[in-house]
Amino acid sequence: MAMLSLFGLHRYALVYLYYRHRDCAQGPPPKRYGQLPAVTVQLPIFNERFVVAELVDAVCALRYPRHLLQIQVLDDSTDETAAVLERIVGEKRAAGVPIEYIHRTNREGYKAGALAAGLRQASGELIAIFDADFTPEKDFLEKLVHYFADHDVGMVQTRWTYRNRDLSLLTRVQAMLLDGHFVFEHGGRARSGRFFNFNGTAGVLRKAMIEDAGGWQHDTLTEDTDLSYRAQLRGWKFLYAPHVEAPSELPTDMAGFQVQQFRWAKGLLQTGVKLLPSLLRSGQPGTVKVEAAFHLLANVAYPMMLLLAVLILPSMLVRQELLGGRLLWLDLPAFLLTFCSLSSFYTLSQAELGRGGVHRHLRLVPPLVLAGISLALSNSRAVVGAMCGSRSAFERTAKFSGDRSAAAQARRVYGRRGGWRMVANFAAAAYFAICLGVAVHIEHWLGVPVIALFLSGFSYAGISMLADARASARALLRTADESAQ
């Protein structure tokens, strides 16, 4: 709990940096190009047939001189997505759009490998990247390109928004979690001169920066963060432009959410293991090193939280027998520092985005905490795997483009069953049901709320994945019936 409290205190530190350096918020480009540079737009795609049409349409509508624009569709797909893209790209090329289709027959290096392959054929001085579920506004490049008139600038990141934010409680919670990241984590780090990272999409990078930093590497699951830290260690300047929004889509099912968070958690720690030692030995200021350590090691909090949860039962029994309530003076401040920092961090981010006062979003704090608890098992596995050096495949999170009916249609093709995650969450819920019974039996009333919180979090994850799996099964059965008819 003491270590978790430290991570909770760090959230307050990021909020402080954000407000303390308010005057350093990124404004319009201080310089402008006399002659615009060539830009290559890269679209890395793998089995995303339900969203690629919107992506390609949006990118082809970007306002930028056509003779300075190159669009690369980097497709590693193994399903019908490839045929869909070939048709769309052919139509766009016939209409005069400078777009090309590059298909790999293997996924070597996964997304990083696709980006590296495209970079070798890129003609642009600047590289814009969009994942399959993004639909940039027409003026995206116009707003960002002039920041690179400063030749020290290597990357400009924009802020994500979410088309399906209000689709379900899960999407609303995910949006709130990511808003906290883009407002206070990116904002606090960028404003105060700390290192921060390119998010892998909805940003523009200088090709020379990518090459100078060693190119795209695929020995971590977060090739974007890996490149970001290597580039900033080389002296490149990174900018954050939160006033430029990039519409995207959130995972609509619990299994997809956990797969995405697993990839981010493992990749971030892999980057820490890879680069933190050299960063700590570098000549960077101590403030940069401390913040980088908190950033890259942030997901260590998950196995700590899981360990705390597992120890509740023996701790409760030992305290009841030997200590009574004498440690309450230590428990309560630590608990409040850990969990209250969550509520203030994420509700304040909503206020900063102009989504209403803090009080309007307090009702989302309980499900947000439950969502965080639901990630404990999966993300703990990710952290342990990263520390042990195990390798994982890059599991992409399928996106379904649009409303519930579109998601139901896509579930027939890309529906994901809960697998071991569902079973593990139900097992954890059963353990905490036993803990709750013991707490009531020995009248340890102070432990009941915490135990109930973990029980609810793991139950929420397990039930959600079971419901999603049943919906996927029903969708597959409908497809089979339609085929038979």
- Residues noted as catalytic: 76, 224
Contact 241, 153 (CB under 8 A): no
Tally the residues of the chain: 485
Distance CA 117, CA 121 (A): 7
Tokens in use for 211? 């090459």
Q: Which residues contact 326 (CB under 8 A, 6 or more apart)?
A: none
Please give the order of strands across the beta sheet that includes 203-206.
Answer: 99-103, 69-75, 39-45, 126-129, 203-206, 153-162, 237-248
Q: State phi, psi for 67 to the nearest 5 degrees.
A: -75, -10
Distance CA 225, CA 219 (A): 12
β-pair partners for 129: 42, 203
| 3-class secondary-structure state, position 63 | coil
Tokens in use for 367? 């499900």
Q: Cβ atoms within 10 A of the Cβ of 124, count?
A: 21
Contact 21, 186 (CB under 8 A): no
Contact 231, 209 (CB under 8 A): yes
Q: At what angle do helices 223-233 and 254-281 cross, to 10 degrees?
A: 20
Enclosing H/E stretch for 126 = strand 126-129
